[in-house]
Amino acid sequence: MKYAVAPSRVAGVLIEGDDAVFPVHRIYCVGRNYAAHAIEMGGDPNREAPFFFQKNPDNLVTEEGDFPYPEKSSDVHHEIELVVALKGGGDNVSLSNALDLVLGYAVGLDMTRRDLQAECKELGRPWEVAKAFERSAPISKIAPASRCGHPNQGAIWLKVDGKMRQEGDISQLIWKVPEIISFLSGYFTLKAGDLIMTGTPAGVGPVARGNVLHGHIDGIGEVRTRVI
């Protein structure tokens, strides 16, 4: 096929213990999926229907790369998240089949321009300018489900310069991974290569240039990035 301009490279994430790379199709993100975080953001902690936004594949930062503090923002926050990597897809996936689509799991950061997000909320505008900006999604290697299984509990935490900022357990997810996959597939055709960021526990807060962020999920892995 002849292209009018050179196509962009395919964004990829390394897989632990494998020389193959996971090619990323789309990145879906679940909002307010931990009750304590919903409360701290002024939301309802009860089990309402999940809502989603997207980041772009080229927003990913892999292999402990740096996170450049973005221009036009003065309040950028960290959000540590369990990430689900899909090896299959479809529409209207049943709960019983949802985990069959999962290749593995990773640790990710949903970096957020909180000041711009607040403006978007006030004006009723979409969140892309606050969420889908360059290098806003640092991510660890993918831990294959063949090794780590399908965890439904385990500590999740984030330290900034060695000090604990966020701390929780993935058992506290309001919407569990199979439910997220099933619900999302009712609105989008899921495909192999999709990533799903499942939400963040309480404790989100600002970062500054020079900070080192270190995130962890038991049994999955760790993500590190430096704010530059």
DSSP state of 141: P
> Does 3 fall in a domain?
no
Q: Furthest-apart CA pair in the chain: how many Å?
A: 52
CA dihedral 34, 39, 45, 49 (to 10 degrees): -70
Structural domains counted in the chain? 1
DSSP state of 173: B
CB 122 within 8 A of CB 222: no
> Does 160 fall in a domain?
yes
Entry pTM: 0.95
> Does 4 fall in a domain?
no
pLDDT tens, residue by residue, 65-122: 999 999 999 999 999 999 999 999 999 999 999 999 999 999 999 999 999 999 999 9
CATH code: domain of residue 87: 3.90.850.10
Detail the DSSP E strand segments found in 88-211. 102-109, 112-113, 137-138, 143-144, 155-160, 163-169, 195-197, 205-206
> Does 44 fall in a domain?
yes
> Does 19 fall in a domain?
yes
> Does 145 fall in a domain?
yes
> Does 2 fall in a domain?
no
Containing structural domain, residue 125: 12-226
pLDDT tens, residue by residue, 8-45: 999 999 999 999 999 999 999 998 898 766 666 666 66
Residues 6+ apart with CB under 8 A from 55: 27, 29, 110, 131, 132, 136, 137, 197
> Does 218 fall in a domain?
yes
Rg of the chain over Cα atoms, rounded to whole angstroms, equals 17
